[in-house]
Amino acid sequence: MSRFAMVIDTRRCVGCYDCVVACKTENGVPEGYSRDWITEEVHGAFPTLQMEIRSERCNHCDNPPCVSCCPTGASHVHEPGGVVLVTHDKCIGCKACLAACPYNARFIHPDGYADKCTFCIHRVERGLDPACVSVCPTHCMHFGDLDDPQSEVSQLLNSRPHHALLPEAGTKPCIFYLT
């Protein structure tokens, strides 16, 4: 099996939003919406400060509450890769998944279905990186298979300190931030 994940190096990231706009063009995300976003976290008092900039999106959790709460089965785990996806024509737009997601990663598309990051599965299945990863001018984003110990993502997680978002939510997120 394979388990797709993203590893993002916060030391390199400058928070430029290229990942956000690349996702919008690649996936035709409608005006006013976005599937990924930038967060800045600042600690300390001027001038002794630390800042972490993160490119965030659906965490494609191993234990995805958006899937378990979905009444129609529209939200599902796509294999191989464990990618959390939404089947548009099964989705009734009930927003249960929006409420269940601790990362606020979903929105209702103007066409009525729940929408979010797909890990660009249409690209990944053709051997390409997700659009956000492929455009990043700082090369801070890495995509790959956690089940493969030789993959770049596995090796980065083995060699660098990292964290995930809201581990306490128990969702087992698959996006990791190198620090």
Q: Which residues pair with 43 in a beta bridge?
A: 50
Q: How far is the CB of 45 from another protein (least distance, A)?
A: 6
Kindly report the backbone phi and psi dihedral angles of residue 47, in degrees, each rounded to the nearest multiple of 5, phi listed first: -100, 10
Q: How far is the CB of 130 from another protein (least distance, A)?
A: 13
Measured distance CA(141)–CA(110) in Å, rounded: 29
Q: How far is the CB of 41 from another protein (least distance, A)?
A: 10
Question: Is 99 a binder of another protein (CB under 8 A)?
Answer: no
Residues 127 and 141 sit within 8 Å (Cβ to Cβ)? no
Measured distance CA(138)–CA(98) in Å, rounded: 31
First to last CA, the chain: 28
Sketch the per residue contact string, 10 through 49, with another protein: x for CB under 8 A, - otherwise.
-xxxxxxxx-xxx-xxx-x-xxxxxxxxxxx-x-xxxx-x
Question: Is 113 a binder of another protein (CB under 8 A)?
Answer: no
In the range 48-87, which residues lie near another protein by CB under 8 A? 49-51, 53
- The DSSP bridge pattern shows strands 75-78 and 48-56 to be unpaired
- Footprint on this chain of another protein (rule: CB under 8 A): 9, 11-18, 20-22, 24-26, 28, 30-40, 42, 44-47, 49-51, 53, 104-105, 107, 134-140
